[in-house]
Amino acid sequence: MGDLSANLSRHEMACNCECGFDTVDHELVVVLQGVCDFLFDDTGFIPVLIITGPNRCHKHNSYEGGADKSQHLYARAADFKIKINGEYYSPQLIYAYLDKKYPDKYGIGLYHNRIHLDTRTGTKARW
């Protein structure tokens, strides 16, 4: 159980350099929890949300090679994967779900083993 939602805790979103930056955009929490809720309803198994790319302070963002205006800097982004019943769930299926549910908003990126989600305002982004 998380302290931000059923599947997400603040410590999971903290910058990896341990600088203490652990703020989280509420909308991001709602959307991530929505993915978990959808997968539970779809599969009947409790999803395990694994944050692989949490918040980043400016120093850590530079270290990671992040973009100058990365949404991770503003606590509005997370890279993640999900396990269902001990197996990693398809990032392609998660991407398809998010793209269909939010066709006109957010930043949604597909990598070979994870998803990027950000709650940017303005123009959507897909990759």
User: Residue 118: which domain range?
Assistant: 10-126
Instruction: Give a yes or no: residue 5 inside a domain.
Output: no
- The reported pLDDT for the residue numbered 125 is 97
Q: Considering just the CA atoms, what is the radius of gyration of the chain in Å? A: 14
Q: Does residue 79 have a pLDDT over 90?
A: yes
Instruction: Give a yes or no: residue 4 inside a domain.
Output: no
- Supply the mean pLDDT for the chain: 97
pLDDT-derived band at 22 (thresholds 50, 70, 90) equals: very high
CATH number of the domain to which 86 belongs: 3.30.1380
- The reported pLDDT for the residue numbered 2 is 87
**Count of structural domains, the chain:** 1
Q: The dihedral of CA 104, 109, 115, 118: what is its sign?
A: negative
Q: Does residue 1 have a pLDDT over 80?
A: no
Instruction: Give a yes or no: residue 22 inside a domain.
Output: yes
